[in-house]
Amino acid sequence: MAVKTYMKPTLAIVAREIAAFMNERGLEREEFSLVGSWQERTGRISLLLGTTRNVDWFDWYQNIIGRLRSSFAEVGTPEAAWNIGLVVLTRTQDELYSSFRLTDGEEDVTDFLESTIGHTWDQLKASPTATAAPG
């Protein structure tokens, strides 16, 4: 099922912010994966972020949710920022994908998120101003 068009701006912000965060933390692209679902009835976006690095999951959670809240406030949709669930897991992409489940009424938005991360990643790597702090 294709992602609903009106959800694309919101999901694009999510993907771009996560890509930027990963870049800042100095990760390689193959060191993280994101899967996500969206429930139209509740408006809830549920994200599972898997990484092969051993990280402080709460530090990542706090920073990413903080970034998302700031980003959404800027585009005038603060309500979206309060309805995103994020879980950070130590998982390979295969492990993350195989443990991902959808419930009734949920839409799988993983392809859109991953492709947007891919585009953003390429732009960040091509940009001379891209930063990469130690993770």
Partner 1 sequence: MSGKSKPGPPQGFIGTALTDLEVAWRERIEEAEVLETAGFHSTAAALRLYALEILVKVVICKHLGLSLLPVVCKKHELVNLIIHTGLWKELQVDPPTRLLANWDILANYSESRLNDLRYEPREKLTEADATRIKEALHGSEQHPDDGVVAWLSKHI
| Chain residues that interact with partner 1, rule: CB under 8 A | 37, 42, 44, 46, 48, 57-58, 61-62, 65-66, 69, 82-83, 85-87, 90, 99-103
Minimum distance from CB of 2 to partner 1 (Å)? Answer: 22
Q: Which CB, 55 or 102, lies closer to partner 1? A: 102
Provide the minimum distance between the beta carbon of 57 and partner 1 in the complex, in angstroms, as a whole number: 8
> In the bound complex, what is the minimum distance in angstroms from residue 14's beta carbon to partner 1?
14
Amino acid found at 26: G
User: Residue 73: CB partners within 8 Å, gap ≥ 6?
Assistant: 81
Nearer to partner 1, 37 or 51 (CB): 37
Would you say 75 or 132 has its CB closer to partner 1?
75
With a CB cutoff of 8 Å and minimum separation 6, the contacts of 99 are 48, 91
Q: Which residues pair with 84 in a beta bridge?
A: 45
Sheet of strand 44-51, all strands in order from the earlier edge strand to the far edge: 84-90, 44-51, 32-39, 106-108
